Amino acid sequence: MVLIFRVYIYLKLLVRAYRSYGKTGVIDFVRAYRLSVKETYPKDFQSNLRLSLSNAKDNKFYVNKREDAVDSERCAVKAIAFYLPQYHPINENDKWWGAGFTEWTNVSKATPQYAGQYQPHLPGELGFYDLRLRDNQEKQIKLARHYGISGFCYHYYWFAGRKLLETPLTNMLNDTSLDFPFCLCWANESWTRRWDGSESDVLIRQEYSEDNDIAFIKDIEVALKDTRYIKVNDRPIIIVYRVSDLPNPMQTATRWREYCRKVGIGEIHLVAALSFDIKNPLTYGFDAGVEFPPHNVFSAKIPRFSLKLFNKNYSGISYCYQGLIAGEIALKKYNFPCYRTAFPSWDNEARKPGKGTSYKNSSPLSYKRWLSHLFECAHASHNLGEVDEPMVFINAWNEWAEGAHLEPDRKYGYAYLEATAEVIKDFS
């Protein structure tokens, strides 16, 4: 059964490679796939990660916290982690989901739907933190800096003047002792009960207008002027999650640029997330794109018959993480400035019980291989003049309900952070 499954995945991805890039794509894919299927931990990687059994005797992949810090300033490539602020109660979530709801509510009650599915994802050192407390943000910053992360990209929820979950950013702006680089990604999709921005069962709808364009850029002006804000050639980065939702993106971009020049910010660096149907950010009047996997990735679905289901009514989708990496390494090419992105793992079962999307057989080693390749791409793109600053994004620092987090957990400990640090050290 396992052999049939592997052959099925391999052939399916091989066909996609040929359709996308012809014979060259097939050759590149075969080479990458041979690397990606090596799931065992070689001795040199074990020694580098200092795998420990002391805190998890039944888990050979648990990694303790490293003693020495990694200096991100010495690295040729910056690692920026997307940051979710959904870890404190707000009135809107109390109304929509029940009193005291936070992201932890869903995370803690997730259960595995098939054999081998890693659920629930439970936090390690930082615990079930509350982001209303300054100390928790300070701990996150210290941990990220310790492992060489260069900054956080905060998801920013703004709806025609109405802000949600803004407390962590407000804390940052009001407290300069939280000394860590940051930038903003406007999460500009409507909020729905399905957690996917669709038009069904809308909780709060996103609205657009010329006035709202100005109101938004004016709202984040204080952040753009902050000395900690991440810039590319002195141009503050603004990421938009769904740029195609803007009625006229080019006009919006023009209004933002004119406003920033007027108030003394100067030029800005507009970046479109390559999510959903967004293919080329330049056609929207933006300067660059940023990958946002698992959107627009080269994946192969795992057939249902190969899964040993615990829940017979499970209707979710599982993909092959190894095949994903093979495709990302071999087949991703862009004809516009683009910042590449990796995710350590992915499984949103916590948000969609029995209907989630997962990537099976992810591991710190596989993630390290993917991230290292993206660092190489960023370095090469910078040398070729394709991007002004070599940066790689990571999705994410703390997307616990999507199984995508660098923060330590109870299964792997600091393994994903250690894998990130090893890549950063390699490029220092």
pLDDT (tens digit, 9 = 90+) per residue, 177-210?
999 999 999 999 998 876 554 556 789 999 999 9
Range of weakest confidence among 8-17, 233-242, 249-258: 8-17
Q: Does the pLDDT of residue 345 top 70, yes or no?
A: yes
Contact 206, 160 (CB under 8 A): yes
Q: Does the pLDDT of residue 123 top 50, yes or no?
A: yes
- With a CB cutoff of 8 Å and minimum separation 6, the contacts of 112 are 118, 119, 310, 349
* Confidence band of 166 (pLDDT split at 50, 70, 90): very high
Task: Tell me what the mean pLDDT of segment 255-271 comes to.
Answer: 98
**Residue 199: per-residue pLDDT:** 56
CA distances from 406 to 122, 199, 412, 414 (A): 12, 31, 10, 8
Highest-confidence range of 8-17, 362-371, 382-391, by mean pLDDT? 362-371
* CA angle, residues 85, 88, 93, in degrees to nearest 5: 95
DSSP assignments along 57-83, one per residue: TT-TT-BPPPSSPP-GGG-SSEEEEEE
Work out whether strand 162-164 and strand 151-159 pair parallel, antiparallel, or are unpaired: antiparallel
Q: Does the pLDDT of residue 38 top 60, yes or no?
A: no
Tokens of 414: 């600091």
Q: What does residue 184 show for φ and ψ, rounded to 5 degrees?
A: -120, 140
| Other C-beta atoms lying within 10 Å of the C-beta of residue 427 | 18
* Confidence band of 360 (pLDDT split at 50, 70, 90): very high
Q: Whole-angstrom Cα distance, residue 203 to residue 292?
A: 24
User: What's the whole-number average pLDDT of the chain?
Assistant: 88
Name the more confident of 391 and 195: 391
pLDDT tens digits, one per residue of 128-159: 999 999 999 999 999 999 999 999 999 999 99
Q: Does the pLDDT of residue 309 top 50, yes or no?
A: yes
Work out whether strand 235-240 and strand 269-274 pair parallel, antiparallel, or are unpaired: parallel
- Domains of the chain plus CATH, in order, are 2-67+77-426 (3.20.20.80)
Task: Tell me what the mean pLDDT of segment 168-180 comes to.
Answer: 97
Contact 274, 338 (CB under 8 A): yes
Task: Tell me what the mean pLDDT of segment 107-116 comes to.
Answer: 95
Q: Whole-angstrom Cα distance, residue 106 to residue 120?
A: 10
Instruction: For residue 341, give the DSSP letter.
Output: E
Range of weakest confidence among 172-176, 242-246, 311-315, 324-328: 324-328
Name the more confident of 1 and 44: 1
Element (H, E) at 404: strand 404-405
Q: How far is CA 173 from the centre of its chain?
A: 23
Beta bridge partners of 301: 319
Q: Does the pLDDT of residue 396 top 80, yes or no?
A: yes
